[in-house]
Amino acid sequence: MGGSPRRADSEAVNTSRLLFPAGVRSNWHTHTWGQLLMVEEGEGRHQVRGGPVVAKGPGEPWFTAAEVEHWHGAAPDEDALQLTIYEGSVEWLEPVQDEEYLVTPQR
């Protein structure tokens, strides 16, 4: 086998590294084509509306399907550096309340 890889980038794909200081989280939101996230450093948290809060550490990815309401951010006491990849647009919703955020997470 031989050959060289070629780029297949799309201008519609958004990639970002987001630093969430301890206690900071996004609002509830959706993505038109879903979102792939991975914690690079620290401890991240995420939740799909109606589901449990889940803690993730470095190298642990998670995927949220298209049009699913969710949030993500840092643990209350630890920063989180997250890599996010998504295509399409984001619909921002209401803030995540402390009673939703400050629960014991699942792993």
In-domain check, residue 22: yes
Tell me which residue range forms the domain holding 87: 13-91
In-domain check, residue 43: yes
In-domain check, residue 76: yes
User: Can you give the pLDDT at residue 12?
Assistant: 78
In-domain check, residue 60: yes
Nearest Cα neighbor of 62 from 42, 45, 74 is 45
CATH of the domain at 41: 2.60.120.10
In-domain check, residue 1: no
In-domain check, residue 96: no
In-domain check, residue 5: no
Give mean pLDDT, residues 57-74: 98
Q: Regarding beta strands 80-87 and 35-42, do their DSSP bridges make them parallel or antiparallel, or are they unpaired? A: antiparallel
Number of domains in the chain: 1
pTM: 0.89
User: Can you give the pLDDT at residue 1?
Assistant: 59
